[in-house]
Amino acid sequence: MAQKAVANLANISVGSRFYGRINNITALGIFVTIDRGHSGLVHRSDFTDWPNDHERYQIGDEVRVVVLSNENNRIGLSLSRLDDPALVDTTNIFSLTAPEEFEAILSQTLDEANQTIKQLEEQNNGR
């Protein structure tokens, strides 16, 4: 069972973004439970003014974090670096899209969404 948990932990890659819940706040930082019950630490150095900044968070709050590191069964997280382009989220299909292809893919996605909405509206009108 422990090996399976470690294997799942290996699937959490640097740059991945998650929504998680704060499960503990200590002098070291904020611990957040993310994917499949794994926890990571948002170190106090991630905050500009730790003594004041951490007071706006409470246990149970949902936060969005990015994985900074995943070594030795410890996950390092950040709240402040969510938009850091150096942290590529390999689970996001658009992360590896060339800038010149992005508009075409976005347009295709929008067309597909509009078609799906139209189909759903037609189904609801038929009821």
Per-residue pLDDT tens listing for the chain (127 residues): 444 444 456 678 888 899 999 999 999 999 999 977 899 999 999 999 998 888 899 999 999 999 999 998 899 999 999 888 888 777 676 666 777 787 888 888 899 999 999 999 988 886 6
Within this chain, do residues 28 and 53 fall inside the same structural domain, yes or no? yes
pLDDT of residue 84: 86
pTM listed for this prediction: 0.67
pLDDT of residue 96: 67
Within this chain, do residues 17 and 70 fall inside the same structural domain, yes or no? yes
**Domain tally, the chain:** 2
Within this chain, do residues 22 and 57 fall inside the same structural domain, yes or no? yes
Phi, psi of 69 (to 5 degrees): -155, 155
| Alpha helices, DSSP H, located in the chain | 2-10, 50-53, 99-125
Within this chain, do residues 12 and 66 fall inside the same structural domain, yes or no? yes
Separation in Å, CA 29 to CA 9, 52, 66: 21, 12, 15
Within this chain, do residues 72 and 35 fall inside the same structural domain, yes or no? yes
Structural domain containing residue 72: 2-89
Within this chain, do residues 108 and 67 fall inside the same structural domain, yes or no? no
pLDDT of residue 35: 78
